[in-house]
Structure 1
Amino acid sequence: MKKQFAIIGLGRFGQSVCRELYHLGHEVLAIDKNEKKIEDASSYATHTLLADGTDEAALKQIGIRNFEHVIVAIAEDIQASILCTLHLKDMNVPKVWVKAQNSYHHKVLEKIGADRIFHPEHDMGNRIAQFLTSQKVIDYIDLSADYSIVEVITTSKVEGKSLIELDIRARFGCTILAIKQNGKVNITPNPNDELHKGDILIMIGSKQDLRRFQDEAL
């Protein structure tokens, strides 16, 4: 379903989000106070606008409150990010998602009502660390300080074994959400389903349990 997004701030993060949303077929308004960035964004945004995201009058004039999703991507200037977010929440924008620069910035954004807060550098650092420390991890999503969703590739240690034989939940406290086999995704694994080398398991659990499963079972 096609949605409308406004992105305020066209640094690397803002540009990346804008491009992806646009290529996914959504309507995207790109806003920045830098004329060169606005010119460049014309190739990957539905509409562009030269404006200051901290200017409340300008935000009202462009009808920002009509957008269900607004992404504030001006984290390098913490004061501007906070002021822009405050204006958007005062205008009752339904979903205001903001990039945070650090933990202090995050706390302030929480207090003024940001609906979702991103730490892309921190999140990417976690993912890279996972890849570097385990050759079995294909992808990784941090859910909290303690829990994650991971995609892990199986080894010959599980060849021909069924899920009920491995008893993963009881032994390791992890849950298999889906299994990728031969390019197909099984989102309702059966206890009798057998695993083979090269299968990809999509799993959820505590980081400690997931690590223990990788070390002991794979």
Structure 2
Amino acid sequence: MARHSFGKAETVLVIGLGRFGNSVASALIRMGHEVLGVDEDAGRVQDAASRLTHVLQADCANPEALRQLGIAEFKTVVVAIGSDLEASILTALAVIEAGVPTIWAKATNERHGKILKSIGIKNVVYPEARMGQMVAHILTGKMMDFVDLDNDFAMVKTRAPSDIVGQTLEQAQIRQAHGVTVVGIKRPGETFTYAQASTVVQKDDLLIVLGETERVERFASRT
């Protein structure tokens, strides 16, 4: 395997081209970044080739394979292997040993995440858990969207409570009364705009609300 350079100062290496890896790689490309996608499975590589510009087949749990990929040239690597715990850990170790400064890794559960953190991965993501939490919030509440920003901090999209319709955000005193902040408002047929103290809440407005998870849950339940 030859070293690869794609004409930019930095290229992101995404290891593992399953659903999560493909999603990350495709999003990075849409944002204008160069991406090299790698997977041990030839079928996944062939499938990803129709969506990603640069794909290779390699076993990245093997330090020699990473060396041949030119791992030392990458500043950012995403280890998107989830289903094979051993492959995930061995690959993460090989990337750490190669001296890559920024590493993100997917974990399928808390145990997997703890192992990744224990070997030195600082940025661990739990895509399945986050998706499950988002769906649960939407199904059981009155939220139209839910984004977990941290363990106890979230952003939600919800309809404006009827008791603040006709008031400005300053008059409604949402932050003082509920401990959350309205950061954006969307009116039917319009795009989202930043919320201002003088913004008058109208019927059928959608609010983007930021705050501690329990507080935004309680606020959304009032709609």
TM-score, normalised with respect to structure 1: 0.89
Structure 2 CA distance, aligned partners of 1:45 and 1:127? 28
Match of 1:12 in 2: 19
How do 1:109-120 residues align onto structure 2 when only pairs under 5 Å count? 109-120=116-127
Match of 2:104 in 1: 97
Alpha-carbon contact 1:99-1:119 (below 8 Å) kept: yes
SS in 2 for 1:16: helix
Match of 2:151 in 1: 145
124-133 vs 193-202, which moves further: 193-202
Match of 2:65 in 1: 58
How do 1:21-32 residues align onto structure 2 when only pairs under 5 Å count? 21-32=28-39
SS in 2 for 1:183: coil
Match of 2:115 in 1: 108
Q: CA deviation at 1:76?
A: 1.1
What percentage of aligned pairs have identical amino acids? 37
How do 1:64-79 residues align onto structure 2 when only pairs under 5 Å count? 64-79=71-86
Structure 1 CA distance, aligned partners of 2:171 and 2:33? 45
- Inter-CA distance 13–46: structure 2 relative to 1 (3 Å threshold): same
Which residue identity lines up with residue 142 of structure 1 in the other structure? Answer: D
How do 1:68-217 residues align onto structure 2 when only pairs under 5 Å count? 68-135=75-142, 137-181=143-187, 183-187=190-194, 189-216=195-222
How do 1:33-44 residues align onto structure 2 when only pairs under 5 Å count? 33-44=40-51
For structure 2, the residue ranges without an aligned partner over 5 or more in a row are 1-7
Alpha-carbon contact 1:22-1:44 (below 8 Å) kept: no
> Matched residue pairs, number?
215
SS in 1 for 2:29: helix
For structure 1, the residue ranges without an aligned partner over 5 or more in a row are none
Structure 2 CA distance, aligned partners of 1:11 and 1:105? 17
Which residue identity lines up with residue 202 of structure 1 in the other structure? Answer: I
**Deviation sequence 1:103-127 (CA, Å, 0-9, x none):** 1111111122223111111111011
TM-score, normalised with respect to structure 2: 0.88
122-131 vs 58-67, which moves further: 58-67
Structure 2 CA distance, aligned partners of 1:179 and 1:4? 36
Alpha-carbon contact 2:169-2:200 (below 8 Å) kept: yes
Q: CA deviation at 1:2?
A: 9.2
Alpha-carbon contact 1:150-1:202 (below 8 Å) kept: yes
SS in 2 for 1:97: strand
| Moved beyond 3 Å, runs of 4+ | none
